[in-house]
Structure 1
Amino acid sequence: MIDGVRAQLRKGVVEYCILGALEREPMYGWQLAETLAKPGLIASIGTLYPVLGRLRERGLITAFERSSGAGPVRKYYQVTKAGSAELDGFRQQWAPFTRAVSEMVGEVDDDKN
């Protein structure tokens, strides 16, 4: 049950986490996957690329190639102006939303029952 909840929560915010990471700096796929996997925001690198594709289709990120110096050319992703605007809108909604959810699902004081 908890894994299902975690998966649904990730689905709801992963696009914005990607935009936030790419707003800080352009990243290549593997680097971005590691950044998101450490805190559990994606399950695997395989789940990242479909999301990147959707973000590109919507014009929220772009991709460019850069030599790695130590191997093949890497595809880097960066946020666009539209992506930054989308992220700003999310930021405005996130704090009030999380406060409301915390109030609704917060722990019950056993002394009141």
Structure 2
Amino acid sequence: MGKSPQHRDLFAGALELMVLHSLRIKPMHGYALVKHIQQVSDDLLQIEEGSLYPALQRMLREGWLEAEEGVSAKGRPTRIYQLTKSGMKRLEQEKSSFEKMFEGITRVLAVVKA
């Protein structure tokens, strides 16, 4: 069975872009990131934890994020992620790339049949 149009996969790089931008606002643990993105998008975007945690690990390896031990709102041990200087630079690159891609898509969608 196919996915409904309301539940499509994100384009490549979208998850990283949203995570980096969200962590620019404030450090968060993984579940808080999921909830933040869902809330800010008015439930249009739902990040699966199975996608988020591998992405966080990849971004840690790349040096875009740092993590420290913390405690969740429910008192459980958790990792708190924060953006590094390298991550800030990556965020700016990703935003620029996204804006160019969005401009191209907008141009394609603006063409009407003659």
TM range (shorter): 0.7 to 0.9
* Deviation per residue, 1:32-71 (Å, 9 max, x gap): 1112344344442222101101101111101001234742
Taking the aligned partners of 1:68 and 1:49, their CA distance within structure 2 comes to: 16
Aligned length: 109
> Following superposition of structure 1 onto structure 2, how do residues 1-113 of structure 1 map, counting pairs within 5 Å?
3=5, 6-9=8-11, 11-38=12-39, 39=41, 40-68=44-72, 70-106=74-110, 108=112, 113=114
Deviation for aligned residue 1:6: 2.9
Unaligned runs of 5+ in 1: none
Which is worse superposed, 34-43 or 79-88?
34-43
| Corresponding letter in the other structure for 2:105 | V
Unaligned runs of 5+ in 2: none
> Is contact 2:63–2:86 with CA below 8 Å preserved after alignment?
yes
Which is worse superposed, 11-20 or 63-72?
63-72
> Is contact 1:14–1:41 with CA below 8 Å preserved after alignment?
no
Residues 70, 101 of structure 1: alpha-carbon distance in 2 compared, 3 angstrom cutoff: closer
Percent identical: 27
Query: What is the RMSD of the two structures over their aligned residues, measured on CA atoms?
Result: 2.6
Taking the aligned partners of 1:17 and 1:45, their CA distance within structure 2 comes to: 14
